[in-house]
Structure 1
Amino acid sequence: MLVAAAVCPPTPLVLLEMPDLRSACRTAIAALREARPDALIVVGGADATGAYAGGAAGTLRPWGLDLTAGTGEPVLPLSLTVARLLMGEPAPDGFRSVAFDAAAGECRELGEQLAGAGERVALLVMADGSACLGPRAPGRYDETAGPYNDGIAKAIAAGDASALAALDPGQADRLWVSGRAALQVLAGAAGTRAFDGRLLMAAAPYGVGYFAGLWAG
């Protein structure tokens, strides 16, 4: 059963810049540990859905940064590598990637599966919002991106799983919301349970929506 969840951005920038956002993420991660879960699992978007052991390694060397965490050959995709570096020690109990283009139903089923991993499960969800929020954004500016991104922020703040479950994959793809699938895994894990949500911080310094949030059951 899901008892706590945190949302943090999967960008290396949170490790190098944006100290306020990094601090908010670490506050959220500390709260997950304080919930004393039987299993703490990290979920993040990637090119393909997969599972990795908690001790798995990830590196940012392909992105020009000499930062590595974990043991063995680096295998974690970017979103999970950023999470591993944010978390420090101890390592989580496991990592799950979800394909960026995974259908909403597939995300829901994965979330339900993860919530059933123990009596007390906590999720660290690495997900960002739209990358079409301004002229400096990676994607082309879209006037509908702001309201869509605000909707995600409100859902995180309210602990509203139904709003995350209702995110439209087609619209998310058009607005470069790469975190859509991971957020819908969170929605599947939460199910119909009520959570107290807190949006610790929201920012879009480079035209990409970044969030730090916490859900407590």
Structure 2
Amino acid sequence: MLVAAAVCPCPPLLVPEVAAGSAPELDAARAACSEALGVLAAARPDRLLVLGPADESGRGTYPEGARGSFRGFGVDAAVRLGRGGGEPASGRELPPSLAVGAWLLERAGWSGTPVEGLGVAEPLPAGRCVELGRDIGGRPGRIALLVMGDASARRSLKGPGYLDERAAPFDAEVARALGSADVAALEALDVELARELKAAGRAPWQVLAGAAENTGLTGTLLYEDAPYGVGYMVAAWS
């Protein structure tokens, strides 16, 4: 059963070495992520699942100890998922979203609770996302989720997808739903609109919604901003 969840953005810029001189711009986001991870730790889960968007090559499960890096972003920095000593499944590195999640866990000193990763294909239909979440929520023991994902990438002229006037209302509804643990609203997110707005977090959020059905969890929105034209949100459910 799902007992807690933390929702965090997944830009590699969260890692100060990647952000370099602009690192202070996301200090508030990092602090909010730390607070959300504290909620996970306080829930005393038996297992933590880190999930985030991935392309076709990165989808699927990753064992504890799977490794990732930020070499693709010009920084020779490596991360490991949890405390295990394993190698990436089938020789694969963690996708960027899970690498950022692994970095957040390392930064928080996460230990003791077993960790695994799940790369969720960005185009996965809403119904499949919800079904996947229900399967996760039905696992035995106390399950916690660290859900990585960004909102729209079209919040400003300088955003990766250029300005789209639908982006701000979309993000506002996502922020409201994450902040109030509104499972139905997350399950109802428009897949096509999310794709057009380049909202990479849509699929992971809908997996979270499926896992949280009938759990009675409540939510708190800890951070919401779009410093680079991309919506970043942090929330904690407990």
TM-score, structure 2 length as denominator? 0.87
Across the aligned residues of Structure 1 and Structure 2, the Cα RMSD in angstroms comes to 1.4
Change in 2 beyond 3 A, CA 1:199/1:92: farther
Post-superposition Cα deviations, 1:138-190, rounded to whole Å, max 9, x if no partner, equal 00211111000000000011111111100011010011111100100001101
Distance 1:43 1:114 in 2: 11
Q: Which one of 218, 230, 233 corresponds to residue 208 of structure 1?
A: 230
**CA positional deviation for 1:14:** 1.5
Q: Which one of 216, 223, 233 corresponds to residue 194 of structure 1?
A: 216
Q: Which one of 5, 19, 25 corresponds to residue 27 of structure 2?
A: 19
Distance 2:14 2:177 in 1: 22
Give the secondary structure class of the aligned counterpart of 1:5. strand
Letter of the 2:13 partner, please give it: L
Post-superposition Cα deviations, 1:114-133, rounded to whole Å, max 9, x if no partner, equal 11223211000001100000
**CA positional deviation for 1:35:** 0.4
Q: Which one of 40, 43, 62 corresponds to residue 52 of structure 1?
A: 62
Which residue number corresponds to residue 61 of structure 1?
71
Change in 2 beyond 3 A, CA 1:145/1:92: farther
Which residue number corresponds to residue 150 of structure 1?
172
Letter of the 1:55 partner, please give it: G
Letter of the 1:47 partner, please give it: D
Which residue number corresponds to residue 97 of structure 2?
79
User: Is the helix fraction higher in 1 or 2?
Assistant: 2
Greater CA drift, 68-77 or 195-204: 68-77
Task: Output aligned runs, 1:124-139, within 5 Å.
Answer: 124-139=146-161
Distance 2:55 2:140 in 1: 27
**CA positional deviation for 1:46:** 0.1
- Runs of 4 or more consecutive aligned structure 1 residues displaced over 6 Å after TM superposition: none
Give the secondary structure class of the aligned counterpart of 2:173. helix
Distance 1:174 1:168 in 2: 10
Which residue number corresponds to residue 42 of structure 2?
34
* Number of residue-to-residue matches in the alignment: 216
1:105 matches 2:113: no
> Contact between 2:61 and 2:116, CA under 8 Å: does it hold in 1?
yes
Distance 2:214 2:150 in 1: 23
Task: Output aligned runs, 1:178-193, within 5 Å.
Answer: 178-193=200-215
TM-score, structure 1 length as denominator? 0.95
> Contact between 2:46 and 2:114, CA under 8 Å: does it hold in 1?
no
Show structure 2 runs of 5+ residues with no match. 17-22
Post-superposition Cα deviations, 1:46-100, rounded to whole Å, max 9, x if no partner, equal 0133000021111111111222112546610000000001111427521011000
User: Equivalent pairs: percent with the same residue?
Assistant: 44
> Contact between 2:48 and 2:116, CA under 8 Å: does it hold in 1?
yes
